[in-house]
Structures are given as C-alpha cells and as structure tokens.
Amino acid sequence: QVQLVEAGGGLVQAGGSLRLSCSASGRSFERYAVAWFRQAPGQEREFVAAMNRGSGETAYADSMKGRFTISRDNAKKTVYLQMNNLKSEDTALYYCAARSVILTIPLSVQAASYSYWGQGTQVTVSS
C-alpha cells in the first residue's frame, strides 16, 4: 500500500510555471504507475498526465501536451508535474494517483484504474 502527499500548488499569473510534487510512502514505489488528475469546481475529475513503471512510458491530455511534463524519482519516491505556460483554465485541485502494475499492463488514463490518491494541491492561475 502507498500513501501520497502532494505539494507545490499556489497562485501564479498566466504564462507562469509551477512544479508540483507528490511524495509516496510505502514499499516498492518503482512498481507503481503514477498519474496526475485535476478537478475544477463544478467539473468532473480530468486526466492530466501519467507515467508507467519501468521504461517511463508517459501519456498526456491533449491540452497539456507541450506545456506539462511528468517525471519521477524512484529513489526519492516522488512524482513531479512541471507545468509551464499556465492558463486560467488550468486552475483546479491537482491530485496525484498511483496503482501497482505488472510490466505488461498498459498505461491508463482513467481515474477508476488508480487505487491510491493524495488529498490534492490547489493551483490557481490568475489572468
């Protein structure tokens, strides 16, 4: 089992950058696929980015491609989300998620696929 704690959210002007981090506790973090989702008020939870175990296969939502980068440091049990050129529509509560997978499992962009979730960190982009 793993517990996740996000950090790094805050208030930033449009066009600015933020780096979110997600620290994990528990064993065998390297065996987990990890992802970021976000949820704006009154909207459904939305996929942002994901990274698989092993080779580091990644996936991004179309609106984040080229602006957001997901990465991980297994030694530190930490996942990062570098967000550049932020827009007002990026304002949301950002969640880190993880699931234990075997190497042959494809990367998932579905929230229901992830078993472990953090409490979220708020990102507010002012225009």
pLDDT digits (tens, 9 = 90+) for 59-86: 999 999 999 999 999 999 999 999 999 9
Q: How far is 42 from 126, CA to CA, in rounded Å? A: 19
Q: How far is 82 from 67, CA to CA, in rounded Å? A: 8
Closest CA to 62 of 109, 21, 118, 115: 109
What pLDDT was estimated at residue 50? 97
- pLDDT band of 123, cuts 50, 70, 90: very high
- pLDDT band of 88, cuts 50, 70, 90: very high
Count of CB atoms situated within 10 Å of the CB of 75? 8
Q: How far is 116 from 6, CA to CA, in rounded Å? A: 12
pLDDT digits (tens, 9 = 90+) for 93-122: 999 999 998 877 889 999 999 999 999 999
What pLDDT was estimated at residue 42? 94
